Structure 1
């Protein structure tokens, strides 16, 4: 299952609306990290096996 950036932002927004500011910041950090990792994985070609 995958979501567009807009869908993910909407989901995160709804899930964090009742969290404390500290918890929101933590979730937002994880969200940003996951975006960075996804972008990185799209740039890096998969490793080639030597079999």
Structure 2
């Protein structure tokens, strides 16, 4: 029974990761990495600078 739960849990994690990846691809246009920060540009036109 433990192996069944582990298998279901792993499948749920894989599904969650695929859904997150699809959402990120829909929302994010570009990520630019600099030495001291990085910039996230969304397809909506919003730009966010994140300090390292």
| Higher helix fraction (1 or 2) | 1
More relative contact order, 1 or 2 (CA 8 Å, 6+ apart): 2
Q: Greater CA radius of gyration, 1 or 2?
A: 2
Give me the TM-score of the superposition, normalised by structure 1: 0.49
| Higher strand fraction (1 or 2) | 2
Give me the TM-score of the superposition, normalised by structure 2: 0.48
